[in-house]
Structure 1
Amino acid sequence: MTPVKDRLREKSAPLSCYLNLIPSAVATQAIAAAGADIVIIDQEHGPIGPESVHAMVAATAGTSCSPWVRVPLAQADHVKTALDAGAEGIVFPLVRTAQDAAECVALTRYPPKGKRGWGPFVAHARWGTPLFEHLAHRGDSTVCCLLMETVAAVENAEAICKVEGIDCMVIAPFDLSTELGVSGRMDAPQLREAVQHLEKTVLAAGIPLGGAAMTREQSLAMRARGYTLMAHHFDVLVLGQFVRESRSWLAGP
């Protein structure tokens, strides 16, 4: 199976991504088995502890779905726990500067390229590699994904894009719109301007670009603009949406 990092680089086809906030291996398995390219296990906004992370990562085995973890902070303990549970990618929130970006890259790379601690005692089993061959086989496969969701990130976008080792950058409009004072207003001029600047800068740097595409129309439009990764929805929101919709069936014709 082609590592997801290579699929991102090739940009030959868009990749589908879903956010998993429900702390359940069953939910993750359902998403992975349904054909998702990537599932992001969300420790930043979801009530998901380390034991659940391991079970959820393990639940993607036997599928082509790549398990990523959005950590709450760009700190070694969060990143190391997720990677040593078998995560193939780390999503870093609230990146603001090139220095932040360089730290994120270092946390996902083994020395001498970075400062990730060695200890894949659990991860090697997820990927089917002998323990002491895990670094050689999987050490360069970890995805470093940055969320561009702060005003500072918009202002420092050119410098951030020059940092070596970034595998993907995702424009996250919810936090960004909130920082801009237009929370949730996806059509606000200042948000549109910020997103357009980020799109232009990231694509010009040749870095795979991702974003929120929660409808078919958004997905097609973003693909046409050069996006590689489409974050389609949140599991908890899809569940609630279906319940609300199905309750309407009881109202009759």
Structure 2
Amino acid sequence: MPLPLSPTFRAALAAADRPLVGMWVCSGSPVVAEICAGAGLDWLLVDMEHGPNGLGSVLAQLQAVAAYPATPVVRVPSDDAVVIKQVLDLGAQNLLVPMVSSAADAERVVRAVRYPPRGVRGVGSALARSARWNRVEGYLADADDHVSLVVQVETAAGVDAAAAIARVDGVDGVLVGPSDLAASLGLLGQQTHPDVTAAARRVLDAVAGVGVPVGVNAFDPAVADAYLAAGASFVIVGADVTLLARGSDALAARFVDRTPPGRGA
């Protein structure tokens, strides 16, 4: 029996009448991913670059999230074509590739997600969840329709090349990464520094000018609001691990880091 696949992040962006709001899932836990998927956010970013995620944990999280409306996007650790092939074969339909700083970088990534003759993706659909073990009719012929690609601009060179990157056929979106961008600008740890936000705005303007969706990572609500007002098509406004860290900090501050009643000076 032929099986359908879920709409891509590209399709979700095209259908949206407002910016899409998402969060990072970095814990590696399918239970946490499922909890986040049910929160009402538009999309989730499962992170293999800085999170403790391998192929097995990504697969489990994709399976956990599949029951919910939130669109899962997987950030691969690099532009390595072998890793990209493996993650696509797991059934990830939406990829984010970090550290894309030129049109040539973007072209290489596009080739990694496409089958020959347009790309170099290895063919193993009969063995893989991507095609539901060949239960998705016409998967090989229509594979480009089932995969969307977002590339991450997070260097000074990437800022300068943002429009050229966005024009590469096969790039469906561009995400600004302020943390590494700040480091590239000599402002390590200062994601909200005016020079960093100005560079991010340059990317927003350049990519939007090409007609490609553009997003940004912004955990500070005021900064996120400013990027949304500047025209961001999608944003990431938090992460599972930071929510847990700050929530547990608040519990400790409330119940541990205080003078017991009646024992004050």
TM (norm. structure 1) is 0.90
Report the alpha carbon displacement of residue 52 of structure 1 after superposing the two structures with TM.
0.8
Residue 124 (structure 2) pairs with residue 124 (structure 1): no
**2:7·2:146 contact (CA, 8 Å) conserved in 1?**
no
Structure 1 CA distance for aligned equivalents of residues 144 and 162 of structure 2: 27
The range that moved more, 147-156 or 111-120, is 111-120
SS of alignment partner, residue 23 of structure 2: strand
Q: 1:113 to 1:12 in 2, by over 3 A?
A: farther
**Structure 1 residue corresponding to 2:110, chosen from 94, 100, 105:** 105
Secondary structure of the 2:152 match is strand
Unaligned runs of 5+ residues in structure 1 are none
Instruction: Measure, in 2, the Cα distance between the counterparts of 1:192 and 1:131.
Output: 43
Q: Please state if 1:69 is matched with 2:74.
A: yes
SS at match of 1:140: helix
Partner SS state of residue 211, structure 2? coil
Return the offset for 1:208: 0.4
* C-alpha distance 6-56 of structure 1, shift in aligned 2 (>3 A): same
The one of 133, 145, 148 aligned to 2:150: 145
Could you tell me how far apart the structure 2 residues matched to 1:133 and 1:4 are? 20
Aligned counterparts of 1:133 and 1:108: Cα–Cα separation in 2: 17
Q: Name the structure 1 match of 2:42.
A: 37
Partner of 2:94: 89
Shift of the alpha carbon at 1:5?
1.2
Quote the Cα distance in structure 2 between the aligned partners of 1:218 and 1:176.
15
1:183-198 alignment, distance < 5 Å: 183-198=188-203
Q: Which moved more, 1:34-43 or 1:47-56?
A: 34-43
1:26 is aligned to 31
Distance in 1, Cα, partners of 2:8 & 2:163:
27
Q: Structure 1 stretch 190-199 or stretch 56-65: which is displaced more?
A: 190-199
Q: How has the CA–CA distance of structure 1 residues 6 and 69 changed in structure 2, closer, same or farther, with 3 Å as cutoff? A: same
SS in 1 for 2:146: coil
Q: Which residue of 2 aligns with 1:174?
A: 179
Contact persistence 1:213–1:219 (CA under 8 A) = yes
Take 1:16 and 1:188, find their aligned partners in 2: how far apart are those partners?
Answer: 23
Q: Highest CA radius of gyration, 1 or 2?
A: 2
Structure-to-structure mapping, 1:198-237, within 5 angstroms: 198-237=203-242
Which residue identity does 1:14 align to in structure 2? P
* Counterpart for residue 13 of structure 1: 18
Question: Matched residues in 2 for 1:156 and 1:5: separation?
Answer: 22
CA distance in 1, matches of 2:239, 2:162: 27
RMSD: 2.1
State yes or no: 1:3 paired with 2:12. Answer: no
Q: What residue number does 1:241 align with?
A: 246
Q: What SS does the aligned partner of 2:205 have? A: helix
Letter of the 2:149 counterpart: C
- Which runs of no fewer than 5 residues in structure 2 stay unpaired? 1-5
Report the CA distance between 1:68 and its aligned residue: 1.6
User: Per the alignment, in what secondary structure is the counterpart of residue 59 of structure 1?
Assistant: helix
Contact 1:74 1:92 (C-alpha < 8 Å) held by counterparts: yes
2:72 is paired with a residue of what secondary structure? strand
Q: State the identity %.
A: 31
Q: How many Å apart are 1:182 and its aligned residue?
A: 0.7
For this pair of structures, how many residues does the alignment match? Answer: 251
Normalising by the residue count of structure 2, what TM-score does the alignment of the two structures yield? 0.86
| Whole-angstrom distance in 2 between the partners of 1:14 and 1:140 | 22
Q: Deviations over 1:63-108 (max 9, x none)?
A: 1122221111101111111111111211111111110001111212
